[in-house]
Amino acid sequence: MADWKRGLRRVLYPAYEARMMRRLPAEQLPKHVGVMLDGNRRWARAVGRDTAHGHRAGAANIEPLLGWCDEVGIEVVTLWLLSTDNLNRPAAELAPLLGIIEEAVDALVAQRRWRLHPVGALDLLPTSTSERLKAAAEATREVDGMLVNIAVGYGGRREIADAVRSLLHEHAERGTTLEELAGIIDVEHIADHLYTKGQPDPDLVIRTSGEQRLGGFLLWQSAKSEFYFCEAYWPDFRRVDFLRAIRAYAQRERRFGS
């Protein structure tokens, strides 16, 4: 992009964003937003850098996003940083990526602005990573701020399987027979054992990079969510892109399947 265009955007976009903020209807804003931080590797290729550089650029955009969420009063954010499928990537890529995630989580802890909650199959992660995530949750447990779910080693199918497994263990300890359980089990029983138990389901799910699919993100919780797909790769996702997603959500008439 030509320098003069960049300069023009720097001048015009703050005013445009401020106008968008003023026009957002407070009563129609989402309370829980899920974000699929997609496109780090493609962004790196586009700028002629290695994959790790793309992941670092993506990690650097997390804190700004959370600040934008705070600005509009969002209460819960779920960030999908690493899927269970991603764990099958070559070790030469996966090890640096896990290190970048650990550093990003530590940086969020240091802010003392948000409560961090890891969601995912932590048992599939290296011990160092799972321990860092657990420590982040403990360190921010008393923080009076937005709840941020950090989805690492996360897969929607795995979450549902884990929820069912947890439910079965719970009732086995109570002495409930399978026949008795089959007679009483309902949707809420499953929901009570999800990684996000006790939280509202996401109102809005944003995916960057132009991909228009869920890929296993919050499969159970997003049954009635609104979706917004953004063409920008995650490292290029800007405040104006976020505000456009929020505006699009506010303009929709939610029918909740009716």
List active site positions: 38, 86
Angle at 226 between CA 220 and CA 205, to 5 degrees: 70
